[in-house]
Amino acid sequence: ELDTISEKVSKGGNGDDGGGSRILVFVRLRPISRKEREGGARCCVKIVDGRDVYLTEFATETDYLRLKRLRGRHFTFDASFPDTATQHDVYSTTTAELVEAVLQGRNGSVFCYGATGAGKTYTMLGTIENPGVMVLAIKDLFSKIRQRSFDGNHVVHLSYLEVYNETVRDLLSPGRPLVLREDKQGIVAAGLTQYRAYSTDEVMALLQQGNLNRTTEPTRCNETSSRSHAILQVVVEYRVKDSSNNIVNRVGKLSLIDLAGSERALATDQRTQRSLEGANINKSLLALSSCINALVEGKKHIPYRNSKLTQLLKDSLGGACNTVMIANISPSNLSFGETQNTLHWADRAKEIRTKAYDAHEEMQMPDSETDQAKLLLELQKENR
């Protein structure tokens, strides 16, 4: 019975009947930092009308308007946030609807993608004074639950985990690496902490502490690794009466993902340990790109099995999931190349249409090494 309910719920994801709906892609520009300004950096990004992004090495108004016609320098997204956008602007435009969907038993996911220093962690976690999407989503979730029920019908569990160097770790309870297993619900990290949350107050501290548990760069003390992916999963369970008046459980899951820096996604050098780590991040981000490409092309086989990250996000990428991408970019002309890569990637992600498909069938398919190699070449060409 539970199975049929969750099946129905998952078929209904995104409010379509399998025809597919596009994932939403947003861009957020961060402010130029004092250090950048003092170092003589200039702003090379312009956001117009809350949608259009112009990338230019010349920062005058006439220059960017002239560049409008140049290919590869002008992009349009579902919304683009200028450096003046607040955390709340970003939350309410990108994620608020997913929180509503989760309360209706659907899944949703929000990814932050971009180079190191582009503002991913600021957007996702934020600071005590300016909490980010993770905290605002949980706050909103609790306030919506309070509006709906006073009887503890809704139960909220949080998990916070990291994928680093193709190893999965529990950020709420650091210890030995976690093993991924497949069960009825999909792929799960065995033994992962499911923290039962009762209020918003405790959450910021919990997430800040979790963030401190992220793997740090071996050569730089206390600096969070740019090779670490952090995933917060918010699971909401509640009971409803079905049409025959039986009480059934419903589950909705929101995944909020602070991806590793995208700048090393394609740079590999196999000689040192550091670059081995780079290669492994490469593996997870490449596998993510690979899945996204397969989804864009409407392929039947989506190569989720190629990395830990894509295995964990299997139910958050295709199928019955509302997916949101936030591409974070720096305004500095010194990051021009990275910004352009990020915008190209985001532009491509707009093409993804999520579809209902038979997940179990795909689990059995072998990984395709040649597909990956082909994609790598394509991406390298694109990035040249």
- Shortest distance, CB of residue 224 to Mg ion, whole angstroms? 6
Binding piece for ligand ADP, criterion CB under 6 A, among 11-19, 116-124, 146-154, 237-245: 116-124
| Nearer CB in complex with Mg ion: 27/141 | 27
> CA 21, 354, 252, 210 torsion: positive or negative?
negative
Nearest to 168 by CA among 135, 194, 191, 197: 191
- Shortest distance, CB of residue 223 to Mg ion, whole angstroms? 10
Q: How far is CA 24 from CA 12, 109, 351, in A?
A: 18, 11, 9
In this structure, are residues 300 and 357 in contact, taking their beta carbons and an 8 Å threshold?
Answer: yes
Binding piece for ligand ADP, criterion CB under 6 A, among 118-126, 277-285, 291-299, 349-357: 118-126
| Nearer CB in complex with ligand ADP: 121/307 | 121
Answer yes or no: is 96 a known binding residue. Answer: no
Q: Which two tokens stand for residue 162?
A: 């990291």
Answer yes or no: is 119 a known binding residue. Answer: yes
**Partner from ligand ADP, Mg ion, none contacting 30, C-beta within 5 to 8 A by type:** ligand ADP
In this structure, are residues 205 and 215 in contact, taking their beta carbons and an 8 Å threshold?
Answer: no
Answer yes or no: is 118 a known binding residue. Answer: yes
In this structure, are residues 88 and 130 in contact, taking their beta carbons and an 8 Å threshold?
Answer: no
**Partner from ligand ADP, Mg ion, none contacting 345, C-beta within 5 to 8 A by type:** none
- Shortest distance, CB of residue 123 to Mg ion, whole angstroms? 9
Alpha helices in the chain (DSSP H): 2-11, 34-38, 61-67, 87-94, 96-102, 120-124, 133-148, 201-212, 273-296, 308-312, 314-317, 336-349, 359-363, 369-383
The crossing angle, in degrees rounded to 10, of helices 201-212 and 133-148 is 150
- Residue 210 near ligand ADP by CB under 6 A: no
- Alpha-carbon distance of 264 to 250, in angstroms, equals 40
- Residue 131 near ligand ADP by CB under 6 A: no
Site for ligand ADP (CB under 6 A): which residue of 54, 111, 113, 122? Answer: 122
Answer yes or no: is 4 a known binding residue. Answer: no
| Nearer CB in complex with ligand ADP: 13/114 | 114
- Residue 227 near ligand ADP by CB under 6 A: no
**Measured over all CA atoms, what is the biggest interatomic distance in the chain, rounded to whole angstroms?**
69
- Shortest distance, CB of residue 130 to Mg ion, whole angstroms? 15
Answer yes or no: is 116 a known binding residue. Answer: yes
| Nearer CB in complex with Mg ion: 103/118 | 118
Burial-class residue 276 by CB neighbours within 10 Å (0-12, 13-18, 19+).
middle
- Residue 32 near ligand ADP by CB under 6 A: no
- Residue 80 near ligand ADP by CB under 6 A: no
Backbone angles phi, psi at 315, to 5 degrees: -85, 5
- The annotated binding site for ATP is made up of 114-121
Residues at the site binding ligand ADP, with contacts judged by CB under 6 A: 30-31, 114, 116-122, 226, 328
